[in-house]
Amino acid sequence: MLEKNILLIHTGGTISMSEDTSGAVKPGAKNPLTEEAQILSGLANLIVEEPFNLPSPHITPKEMMTLKRIIEHHYNQGGIDGVVITHGTDTLEETAYFLDLTVQADLPIVVTGAMRSSNEIGADGLYNLISSIRVALSREAKGKGVLIVLNDEIHTAENATKTHTSNVSTFQSPQYGPIGIVTKRGIFFHHMPASRENYQIEDPSKRVVLIKAHAGMDSSLLLAVKELQVDGVVIEALGQGNLPPSAMEGIRALISDNIPVVIVSRCFNGVVQDIYGYEGGGKHLKDCGVIFSNGLNGQKARIKLLIALAMTNNMKEIDKMFSL
């Protein structure tokens, strides 16, 4: 009898889809991974849950909270040694980061997916799933937060991002690289995160929008967002964290309404800093009350702001969270 139990949660995505005769990739009546259960059964005792079957563009914080609660339920009941989640790749990094920040469970959690559907030549889903179960069974995976495993690489949920629309090596961690690798002989970690964050939330229902800055950007979109009565704004700013001066009217209007504005860079390497003192420059933005995020990309800063707003409306407390 196998010694370890893995909670396997299927959520949908390409890894759970098939290509039809017209070339369209879509969900079928059955999850093809279920039919491969015999192959997986030799790795661990699998406890399988399939709370929904959705393409990842359909995933919202509601589904992310469902996954959090399923994991915590099984963890509190006892009897599981790790968790593996199959997920569509388009928003996989957001779900993984949400779980990394919120799940109250001290055990390996791995999120995986596929770039090719189950019946395409070179399908990568089953291999990625087997690799993920092996990582979740690894003693060294514990204490490293939620992990993303695809293409023989192990990445942190905080740093991994989808970098290519179709390549099987799409998930990369700019600046940092993977923290481990999967080989035929074993699972090898070569470094680990220096710190961890975790927050207890119940209702991530606030409205947070993500905007990308560009040359000549004015305040019209920012003022429109303010009128929509959103709860928070994340801006992928220019360079080290700068905006055109014509955007400052909108920035001031949002902050005067106590709407937190978080700045990240539209560059995929580096961090934002309050360096430049000209109008719209980082120092100017900081002085106006804009919050600078410590190295997150836009979509993950949005997830973090969503979680922050589920706990507090205090600007100073939110700013402190983003400095971690």
Residues acting as catalytic residues: 14
The SS3 assignment for 58 reads helix
Phi-psi region of 143 (alpha: psi -120 to 50; beta: other; left: phi over 0): left
The SS3 assignment for 320 reads helix
Q: What span, in angstroms and rounded, lies between the C-alpha atoms of 14 and 18?
A: 8
Is the separation of the CB atoms in 192 and 144 below 8 Å? yes
Q: What span, in angstroms and rounded, lies between the C-alpha atoms of 223 and 207?
A: 16
Name which of 162, 176, 84, 76 is nearest 125 in CA terms.
84
Is the separation of the CB atoms in 214 and 222 below 8 Å? no
* Residue found under tokens 């017209």: 22
Name which of 113, 109, 161, 118 is nearest 137 in CA terms.
109
Is the separation of the CB atoms in 81 and 74 below 8 Å? no
